Amino acid sequence: MNDRKGLDDSGRPIVAELGRAETPQETADRKAAATVAHRSNQTVLNLVIALAASLLVVFVIVVVVVRPDQAGAPKAVDYAAVARDAQPSVSTPLLVPTLPKGWSANRAELVDAASSSDGIASWQIGLLTPSTQYIGLVQGLDANASWIASQLHDKKATGQTSFDGSRWQVYDHRADSNPGNLAYALVTTVGASTVVLAGTASDSEFATLATEITKELNG
């Protein structure tokens, strides 16, 4: 018997446990098992490659597609610039309050009478306060009592206050169930301008804004 390289004289592999050459069936079984093992290893390898490719795609999306400026806070709106562009279309001066550092706007637009549901033009600014609360400023042009009621969803006035000598109606509904952005509101009318301030900010932040608006209206 030639046992070179574990083969018999016929060149068949010798099964060590049996001390003889493997039978044709054993050879076929061994090759079939090797094929199955190879295919199994290939399947695992393919899964690893697919997973790695998926992770690479996610990495590209996060690093390349989602840029820092997109992930951050929304860009502040320059309401003064919007007002300058809109002013030629109306005769009433649009309010552009000068506010301390920490205030910003997330929207500003002039809604013309033809586009509004009540036929009254209005200048609107959405303001974010230093405490991250919200105050909506709406300046109605030649507005009326019905317009005010619509802006405040028919809520009732709860008192009065003054800022820089001008009187404002107070609508304090913070105790209501889910008052939203009408939790607190201030309303005043000077000339052709009726101003509604409504939102979730503190009394002091409302006072800061109302005082600046009063100066503009009486300036």
Residues 100 and 167 in one domain: yes
- pLDDT, residue 68, reads 47
Same domain as 132, residue 62: no
146, β-bridge pairs:
none
User: How many alpha carbons fall within 13 Å on the CB side of residue 43?
Assistant: 6
pLDDT digits (tens, 9 = 90+) for 34-54: 776 666 667 777 777 877 777
Does residue 14 carry a pLDDT above 90? no
**At residue 64, does pLDDT exceed 90?**
no
The answer on 60 and 108 residing in a single domain is no
176 contacts: CB under 8 Å, gap ≥ 6: 183
Instruction: Indicate whether 73 belongs to any domain.
Output: no
Q: Are residues 16 and 38 in the same domain?
A: yes
Residue-range definition of the domain harbouring residue 93: 79-218
User: What is the token pair recorded at 12?
Assistant: 């068949």
Domain count, the chain: 2
CB 192 within 8 A of CB 92: yes
What three-state secondary structure class fits 169?
strand
Same domain, 83 and 63: no
Q: Is 74 a member of any domain? A: no
Residues 37 and 134 in one domain: no
Report the range of poorest mean pLDDT among 27-31, 49-53, 179-183. 27-31
Same domain, 117 and 147: yes
